[in-house]
Structures are given as structure tokens and as C-alpha cells.
Structure 1
Amino acid sequence: MHIVTTIAGSDSGGGAGIQADLKTFQELEVFGTSVITALTAQNTLGVTGVCPIDVSFIKKQLEALVEDFPIAAIKTGMLYSSEIIKAIAHKIRELNIPLIVDPVMIAKGGESLLQQEAIDALRSTLLPLATVVTPNIPEAETLTGRSIHHFEDMKEVAQSLLQLGVQCVIIKGGHLADPLYAIDYVFCKNGRSFSLQSPRIQTKNTHGTGCTFSAALTAFLGQGFALENAIIEAKKFIQLAIMFNLSIGNGHGPTNHFAYQQYKEGCEVIIHET
């Protein structure tokens, strides 16, 4: 049994955060464990409250897992503060485990989920330990202080993140203006770069897409998939989760974590060398 860990916030609405990660792990047949960094009061309409967990207890959660389980991969999501980020990085530095960093900053409704001073801590302490970082375009811009308007901008932003020590950068293209395709761009430290293209789904039900994609990537890497294959399958997972969304709630509804196992054989992702 492959065991993986998510370090993230709790989403009371169940569409993102710890809840989305554990659903994804379950669907991909890995055993999910968790470290909760913050509680949120939220639903599909937005976040109405955030309560961070005491840093000492966050450390205690992670230490309890490491002491007992042979963890195959770790992902981070909402980390909230610089103190939490530094504590997590200190412990992960001792481990030789693939680390997937989803730099969660803003909720779908626009609420901030990462304190401003935490961005420097993320860059200086956690990203140098990361196997993969999975920012969307606004997150990539915030992490590097550079604007993205064209593909060349994206390459420069990716190189800036790779220079921090990250092994692979996936810049998610959901915010691109292309009306037909959702295109994610992958840049690896070994010089390999390519894009993943799938049809864009016109829907408001995209709550938790970043969490779900990075959780799927964590599950596949935890099972021993090669990095490129893991990225491709994670792209299929989130594509199907959006395509067959559940239409739950009155705002940005959650994706469908159950779709992959049923429809994966018919899901195609187009790969282009860049």
C-alpha cells in the first residue's frame, strides 16, 4: 500500500483543501494521511472565516506521521503563514520524499489564503525542496514578481523558479485567454519542456481544481510513476473532474473526484514539445 500525505487547510465545503486531496487519494488507490494547517468556514459562495492551527501542533501532526508511516510522497496546499511554512520546511528537509508544492494563495471567491509575508518564506525555504511546483499564472507572477503576457514570459518565470531549486515547474493555464483549450506548461530542470492541451470546459464549477490536480500528481508519484507520466495522468484526472462536475452549491461548485476511474480510457491529452 502506497501512503501519501497532504499538508493543507480544511475546506468545510468539501471541494478543496484536505477534503479534495483525500478524495483524490482514495480514488487513485493510495492511502491518504494529512496534516491540517488551518480550518476554514467556506462553501461554494466563498470563505467566511480562517482559523490557523498552532504551529507546534502542525509540527506534532507531521512528526506523528513520519514516525509511523513509510510516506511515499508529500504535497502542500494552503500553508497560510511564514511560521507554518518554515516549520514544515524544517521537517521535510530531513526526508528524502518527493514534494509537490501547490502554492495556494487566493480562494475562488477572491479571499486571501496566504499572508503576504509568507511568500518570501515559501520562496526561500520550501521551493528549494520541491520536486514539483504547480502555480497558476497569478501565483507564478506573485512568486517571481514578473508578469506573464506571452509564452516567453512564462519561460522566464519558470526559469526563475527552477533557479530556486525546484526540479519541475507546471504553470497551469486556466487563466489564459484561449477559449478552446486549457493548456498547462511544464518546464524541467533537465531542460525538458512541453505543454499539455485539453478542451476547455465552460463551467463555473471549478472549486478545488488546483488542489485536486496536485493531489493526483502526488498519488501517481507516490505509486512510482515516472514524472512525465504522472503529470499526464494528473491532467486527465482534473480534466475529467471538471468535465463531469457535480453541479453542487450556488457558487463555484466542486469538481467530480469520482470521474477518473469511470472515464479515463476515453480521455486524451495532447502533448506538444515547447
Structure 2
Amino acid sequence: MSENEAPSENLVPPAVILCEPQLGENIGMVARAMANFGLKDLRLVNPRDGWPSERARSAASRADHVIDAARVFDTVEEALADLQLVFATTARIRDMPKPVVGPDEAASETVARGMQGVNTGYMFGRERWGLNNDEVALANKIVTLPVDPTYASLNIAQAVLVCAYEWRRVATAGRLPFTLDDYGAEPAKKEDVVRFFEHLEEALDKRGFFRPVEKRPTTIRRVRNIFQKASLTENEVRTLRGIIASFDKYGIKEDKE
């Protein structure tokens, strides 16, 4: 990825805190989601099956740098100790007066505070029942996703993926790692395009395409307009002329029964 698509070097990325994750495979998929969007700080609170985990490493699909740097804590308080802004992710209404935001708003605040050097984080709960109220109480705000309320349950890696995606989208101002502009092919010169048109029209004349003859100018304009919309490159013009030349050289074979 080029520097143009990377977040600012001054931006402190958020940590991802998993409270008592149960399966190594889920931790690995979380690490993979984090790596997809440039997050590296993975914190585990009492993983049920212990740490390190080969199952986690296998599921991480080569996101080894996240797995290797993961830290294990005995309590949530220890995992959050150095953080100054924490979002608790939950899909359930909590009986506490705490601001609730969507992942886009959380990302905007996380990026803005991260640019100021503030340590931020997203806290995720257990696979079966999420975060408890005491854990949510430690967060500054709740972040919830706009899911269908009749089926609000997300896999933990899916929830991390959405939050990480939104964070990177804001951090990079939505820039993509590559676009059609990066294709690098030279646009065809108009004189080459005109020669292609003339070559094509000559071949079509030989095959009696322009009928009735009086409509030939109108048909030519329509055919030319079709190719103009394609914004042809030099290589594409050469390829098209090669196709026409092959018709001239070898003719068109008719299927015989």
C-alpha cells in the first residue's frame, strides 16, 4: 500500500480488547480483521483456552504480527489501564446513562483523538453473551451496529471487522489502495483512433454491413461513438486493429453441418 493510502504517522490506532474470548479460532479471525485495516494492538483478558494458541495463529491467516504482539491480562481494568477513550461494543440496551454511537461516529472520534496522541480502544465481549454491565461501565461510550434487532448477534470477528473498517475509512479519508487511474496505460492518440475507425469501416464495407447505403454516415457515427465511450488505450487500439486484420487475412469461417 502506498503512503497516500496509509493513515497519518501521527495517528495512534485504537487497541482491540477481547474480554474472556473462548475459542482460539475466533481470536485468530479477529487478528486477521485487525491486520486487514491496519490495527495491531490486540489485548486478551483471560482467554479461556490459554495463550499462545496455535489455533489462533492458524485462523489468523498470516496476520502473525498481530498474534505475536498480543498481550494477555488478568483483568479488564489492567487491559484498559493506559487507555483514555474506550468504546464498549454491545447490541443490547444497558440500564446505564452512557452515550450510544454507531461505528462511523465512533471511528470519527477515535481518529480525531488518536491524532492528538490519545490512547483509544474498542472493547468486545464473550462469544456467547458479550460484555457484562461492570465491563460496560468502564467504557466512555457504547458503540452498537445498525443490525436487524430481530437478529442482532454478530460473530466477534465480524464486529471487530466493522469497527476496524470504519476506523480505517475515516483515517484514510476513504482512499482506496488502488484505482483505475493507477492502471498506467497510455490513452490512445486521436489519430490512431481515427485510423482504427477507418480500418473497421473498410472491413465492414467489404462485408456489406452498411445497408441501406444512404444511412451509412449515421451508422458510422453510431459505431464510432460506441468505441469513443470506451476511452481506448494504445494497446487496445492495436489489439482491435489486429482483430480486424485477422478477419481480412483469414476470412470468417462458417460452421458446416
Same fold (TM over 0.5): no
More strand by share: 1
TM range (shorter): 0.3 to 0.5
Larger CA Rg, structure 1 vs 2: 2
TM-score by length of 2: 0.33
TM-score by length of 1: 0.31
